[in-house]
Amino acid sequence: MPIMRTINKGRVPVKIYTDDIDSGACEQLANIARLPFIHSHIAAMPDVHRGIGATVGSVIPTRGAIVPAAVGVDIGCGMNAVRLSLSGTELPDSLKKTREAIEEAVPVGFNMHKSVKARRSTLTPLDAGLEKILQLHPTVGKMIKNIGRTWSQQIGTLGGGNHFIELCLDENDDVWVMLHSGSRGIGNVIGRYFINLAKQDMRRLQQNLPDKDLAYFTEGTEYFDDYVHAVQWGQDYAMANRREMMRLTLDALKGVLPYFVITKEAINCHHNYVSIEQHFGEHVYLTRKGAISARDGELGIIPGSMGAKSFIVKGKGNADSFHSCSHGAGRTMSRTVAKRTFNTDDLREQTKGVECRKDAAVVDEIPGAYKDIDQVMANQSDLIDIVHTLKQVVCVKG
């Protein structure tokens, strides 16, 4: 579908690819549009919903400035998916051991590996980049316990919240492995540190903001280059984390599934990140907060909730969306409201046929707390084509 709604309350318009958006998210988008360095317009994807400062599902082009809260604290969060040479008929009748094998191989929640699992070729460039960050901003190292041990032993770990590892079947009954995670504890502290630093800058410069969480760094100021380096490091770390997690997951599956090889890697993509791109005649810092790149012909991954469908998609290079599309279904209620609304009986009902945890600790991730993924996909038919439709049969949550 084309753009369904436009907000004209700021310096630039906000173009929205859905009419399912609440007033809080609309106000956040209008606030972003009031910032003096927004280029052209802001695009809001069909999964758009209220975030902290910046709206989840927003694509924000800026000239000469970056808003750290728009990138967020899970820097580089994103998806990875591979197709295996297995069909659904080759899977065991019970997938409990499959789930347990993944959970044994990949620490979840706040847990990390007992020793470093990543290869030295992965660790060395990350180590050098982090050392530069800590030399310039030693406070970052004090914000996380045992930072040297933590960052290296959390590579290849899942985290919590909406992060997951799934075994899925596509429309041809082919088996896929799909996972979702980001930059873990180290990305979180880098994000929080620079968000607070930007707020201090705004107070010192006496900048009036429509929302204090929209504090920003501009090119040429004291911390701009440091943030650009730090956020790129966080994005590289997140990419490495997903690669290592996929490797560990596939190794674990080799012990419980019939012989397989990888037949196709869909993509390893960010959906919380900033990059330098050209749009509407200018090079801009493009922040995708809950959105993925969807250039013409580019493959991407759009997951649904833990009981719904997910999709491998191909971008159409839509200019108005800044070559972007949604990063998922998008929440319709907060985690707190979800826990008040649903119980474990509801979770078991809504995740029938999926081998997953069905306890109170993951009720906030129940499918009923998310938008209808089919409607989300219909609303972005101008942005992407569907290549594969996936249905999960195993879901590992933190």
Asked whether the beta carbons of 87 and 174 are under 8 A apart, the reply is: yes
pLDDT < 50 regions, the chain: none
Asked whether the beta carbons of 164 and 154 are under 8 A apart, the reply is: no
pLDDT of residue 118: 94
**pLDDT tens column, 335-386:** 999 999 999 999 999 999 999 999 999 999 999 999 999 999 999 999 999 9
Tell whether 110 is covered by a domain: yes
327 is catalytic: yes
Tokens of 132: 């530069």
pLDDT of residue 398: 81
pLDDT of residue 307: 84
- CA distances from residue 257 to 85, 87, 96, 204, 357 in whole angstroms, order as listed: 11, 11, 12, 59, 20
Task: Determine the longest span between alpha carbons in the chain, in angstroms.
Answer: 64
Tell whether 392 is covered by a domain: yes
Taking the C-alpha atoms of residue 393 and residue 391, their distance in angstroms, rounded to an integer, is 7
Residue numbers in the known binding site for GMP are 162-166, 271-272, 303-306, 310, 327-330, 397
Active-site hit among 49, 270, 323, 327? 327
Tell whether 361 is covered by a domain: no
Asked whether the beta carbons of 380 and 1 are under 8 A apart, the reply is: yes
> What's the CATH code of the domain at 187?
3.90.1860.10
pLDDT of residue 1: 79
Tell whether 344 is covered by a domain: no
Tell whether 338 is covered by a domain: no
Tell whether 356 is covered by a domain: no
Question: Could you tell me which of 332, 272, 267 has the C-alpha nearest to residue 305?
Answer: 332
Residue holding tokens 């604290």? 73
| % pLDDT > 70, the chain | 100
pLDDT of residue 207: 85
Tell whether 46 is covered by a domain: yes
**How many domains does the chain contain in total?**
1
pLDDT of residue 117: 93
Tell whether 103 is covered by a domain: yes
Residue numbers in the known binding site for Mn(2+) are 74, 163, 180, 271
Model confidence, pTM: 0.96
Residue type at 86 in one-letter notation: L
In which domain, by residue range, is 305 found? 5-332+370-397
pLDDT of residue 105: 98
CA-based angle 349:354:358, to the nearest 5? 55
CA atoms within 13 A on the CB side of 15: 19
pLDDT of residue 386: 98
Q: Tell me the H-state helices in the chain.
A: 23-33, 68-71, 96-105, 120-136, 139-142, 147-153, 184-204, 224-253, 335-341, 344-350, 373-379
